[in-house]
Structure 1
C-alpha cells in the first residue's frame, strides 16, 4: 500500500524556516523529514517480517505502511513501542474477526438504532459516529454483538475519512439515558479499542444533554480515560446543531 505523508505543524511547502541560524526552505526540511519517516516505516516493517512472520499481510496487516505510520505517530516515532503496539493490534484484529464483520452480520442489532455513522461530515470535515445511549440495553442485548457493532461502526466511520483527515468525531446522545442503559463493561471495551487498536483516531467526544443519573457512571469512566478525558465535551443538542453542522448536514435526531 502506498505511503501517504502530510506536512507537520501546519507549515506550507515553501515556508521559510531557520536551522542553526541559517534560513532554508521548508521543502528541504520536509524532504529530509519524509526520508527519515520512510526509514522508520521500513524499519518497523522489517522488524515485523523478521520477528512476527505469522501475522497477516495486506490491508491492516504487518506490511501495511499506512497502518505502520499511524502507529509510529501514536508512539511518537519510537520503533520499539510502535512494533509492540502494532503487533498487539494486528493479532487482535485477526482474533476478533474484524474483517468478517459486515452490514449483513450486524443487520439485526443495528436495527435497534443504538449506533450509526452519519451520512455527512461535520464542519471540520470529520466522519461522525453517533451513539444513542437510550437505545442500549445491556440486560437484553448480547454483549459480543454490542462489541462487534462498535468495531463495525468505527471501521465504517474511518472508511469515510477524506484525504488529509485522520480522526473522527464521536457523539453520545444521552437524552433519555437511565440506569437501564448504563454499561460500564462496554465503556471499558470502547476505551481499550480506541487506545490499543485505533489510537489517535478519535479527535473529540461530545456527551449531549447528560442527565444527572449519568454522572456516577462518568466518575467511574473518567479515570480510565487518563489524558484522553480531555477529548470529552459536555454540551447541548443546540450546541451540536450550531457548532458542528450546517443546516443541511445536521443529523435528523438533532434538528429542531
Structure 2
C-alpha cells in the first residue's frame, strides 16, 4: 500500500504532460479567470491553479469554473480572516487539532476525534474546520502541498457524526481545498461505523476514497505502515505512539494565536493594494460555458467529479 506523497495525484494524462504544456494550461486558466488583486491574486499562485487543474484532469475550462467558484466563496466567506477566538469554543475538547509533529514526508497532521464533538451548530463546526484547514496550509513546508488526517475512533458511536455535517464538510473540502489530502487514517473504526461509511463514501471522488485507510491497533500491517509514516515517539498513544499527553486547549490556544499572527502576515498584501476590496468578476463567461452539443455531458461530468483528492 502506498501511503506517501507522489509527484502526480492525477491520471496518466497528467503524467504525459510536459512542464511547458502544464504552464501553458496554467496561463490559459489565468486568462479565463481574469485580472485579480489583493488576497485573491495571492491565492492564485501557479501551484494553486495547478491543484485545480489536477482536480479536473487538466481540463482548463472545468478547472477555471471550479476556481471561480472558490474565489467567490473566499470573497464572501473570508476564510483567511477567521481567528482562534472566533472558533475557540469548537476547539475546547480537541475534536480537531493540528499536531505538533509532521509525518516523515513533512506533511502537517490534523488529528480528529469524532467522540469529542461538543456543539450542534453546523455553521460553527464548518467554520472551525475551515480554520483548521487554513492553519494547516500556512504550516506546509515549501516542498509540500498536502496534509495527513489521523482520525481516532476510540469511544465512537453513531451519535458523534452527523450526515448533514459530513455532506457539508465534503462540499467545502472538495470544492475549495482540492489536492490537499495526502492520506486519511481511520484508526480503530468500530463495526458500527461501517453503515455510516457506506453513506459517506458516495460523497467522495473515488480517488479521494482510495486515500482513506482503515488501520487497527491489533493489526501488525497497520503498525508497520504507521512506523513507515511517522516517528512513533511523537505520535499520540491513541494511534500506537509513545506520546501519552492529553490535549491541552490552553497550550493549543497559545500555538494558534501565534499562528494567527503568521496568517495575518501572509495575507498582509491585501492592505498594500487599494484595489484588493474589489469583488472578482464572477458573471457568466462564454469561454467557460459548454457548447450546445456537449452541454448534457458537461453537466453530468460536473456532478460526477469531486476534486478533494
| TM-score interval (norm. to shorter) | 0.7 to 0.9
**CA deviation after TM superposition for structure 1 residue 38, in Å:** 2.6
Q: Is 1:233 aligned to 2:216, yes or no?
A: no
Q: Which moved more, 1:245-254 or 1:86-95?
A: 245-254
Which one of 67, 82, 99 corresponds to residue 63 of structure 2? Answer: 82
Which residue is equivalent to 1:177?
156
Match of 2:40 among 43, 57, 60: 57
Which one has the bigger helix percentage? Answer: 2
3-state secondary structure, aligned to 2:231 = coil
For residues 44 and 182 of structure 1, do their structure 2 counterparts lie closer, same or farther at Cα, with a shift above 3 Å needed?
A: same
Deviation larger for 244-253 or 206-215: 244-253
Rounded to whole Å, the distance in 1 between the matches of 2:99 and 2:217 is 15
TM-score, normalised by the number of residues in structure 1? 0.77
Alignment partner, residue 134 of structure 1: 115
Does structure 1 retain, via aligned residues, the 8 Å contact 2:108–2:136?
yes
What's the counterpart of residue 202 of structure 1?
Answer: 181
- Show the counterpart of 1:91: 72
In the other structure, the counterpart of 1:16 is none
SS at match of 1:250: coil
**How many residues in Structure 1 have an aligned counterpart in Structure 2?**
223
Q: How far did 1:253 drift?
A: 4.3
Aligned equivalents of 2:7 and 2:25: distance in 1? 16
Q: Which residue in the other structure is 1:145 paired with?
A: 124
1:1-256 alignment, distance < 5 Å: 33-49=18-34, 57-60=40-43, 63-137=44-118, 140-227=119-206, 228-237=208-217, 239=222, 242-251=227-236, 253-254=238-239, 255=241
Distance 1:246-1:185 versus aligned 2 partners, 3 A rule: same
Q: Aligned partners of 1:209, 1:253: CA distance in 2, in Å?
A: 9
In structure 2, C-alpha distance between the alignment counterparts of 1:237 and 1:154, rounded to whole Å: 27
Unaligned runs of 5+ in 2: 1-5, 9-15, 243-309
- Work out whether residues 150 and 185 of structure 2, in 8 Å CA contact, stay in contact via their aligned partners in 1: yes
- The DSSP-based 3-state class of the residue aligned with 1:117 is strand
Aligned CA RMSD, in angstroms, stands at 2.6
Shift of 1:56: 6.3
Matched-pair contact (CA < 8 Å) for 1:55–1:91: no
> How many Å separate the matches in 2 of 1:55 and 1:49?
14
- Deviations, residues 42-85 of structure 1 (Å, cap 9, x unaligned): 221122117xx79963322xx53332222122222221111111
- Distance in 2 (CA, whole Å) between partners of 1:208 and 1:134 is 13
Q: Offset at 1:8?
A: 5.5
Question: 2:305 maps to which residue?
Answer: none
CA distance in 1, matches of 2:210, 2:19: 30
- Unpaired stretches in structure 1, ≥5 consecutive residues: 1-6, 10-29
Secondary structure at the counterpart of residue 123 of structure 1? coil
